[in-house]
Amino acid sequence: MGRANGRPRGRWLLALLLAGGLAACGGPAPPLQATAPADAPVVVAVHDGDTLRVRDAHGRVRTVRLAAIDAPELDQPGGAQAQAALQGWTLGRAVTLQERGDDRHGRRLAVVWRLQDDGSALELNLALLQQGWAWHYRAHADEQPLAERWRYAAAELAARRAGRGLWADPDAIPPWEWRRLKRRSPAPSRRAGAARTSGSCPCWSWAARRTRPRAAP
């Protein structure tokens, strides 16, 4: 919520302006051309909103984790919708991967691009943020190029402010917090530990207040 002095709103505007300027100066160029390469991997399965499986030209199947974002878990509010969004964009389609190494689970990290019918390239990691179906994974933001980092942070902030996707719920819980709570309890409350921090710059992030249970009389 904005304050009377306008500072929170100013932080939003500053973030968006900086992101736009950085993207204009150094955003990544789409790697796809007018037609997808004949040896481009094809998406054969979508596990959830940020993980898919691709088959390459040699028939090998790999698991790909979309880099720098975190979508809701399937058992989490918004998880099925995030999966459906990614599935609608990718299943059965050729994609291009900008690989970023492997994560601790052995999945290939990548920025994933898909050629659209009009010949333009859709950056799927960014699209999920723009549509409000993922968080910018700020714990790994320092692994991103600077311009990309700000574009992703600004995309999440814009979706949050517009109430798109999972941001229709002001108490949406980030997946990393959901996973932590689930390890401690099989049924985490939607409000318990709701973390509303995001982005890669703490100067315009904010922290949610945690509701503490009142001591029994």
pLDDT of residue 117: 84
Q: According to the model, what pLDDT value does residue 119 have?
A: 83
* Cα distance between residue 88 and residue 93, in whole Å: 10
Q: What's the structural domain count of the chain?
A: 1
CATH number at residue 138: 2.40.50.90
3-state secondary structure of 148: helix
Listed residue (72, 74, 76, 56) closest to 64, CA to CA: 56
Catalytic center residues: 65, 73, 107
Give the C-alpha separation, 115 to 122, whole Å: 6
Q: What is the mean pLDDT of each run of 10 residues along the chain (217 residues)?
A: 44 48 47 66 97 96 97 96 97 95 95 90 97 94 92 96 96 94 70 43 37 48
Q: What does the pLDDT read at residue 191?
A: 52
Domain of 70, in residue numbers: 30-169
Q: Answer whether residue 56 is part of any domain.
A: yes
**Does the residue 51 lie in any domain?**
yes
The answer to whether residue 7 sits within a structural domain is: no
Say if strands 108-115 and 61-66 run parallel, antiparallel, or are unpaired: parallel
Measure the CA–CA gap between 43 and 61, rounded to whole angstroms. 9
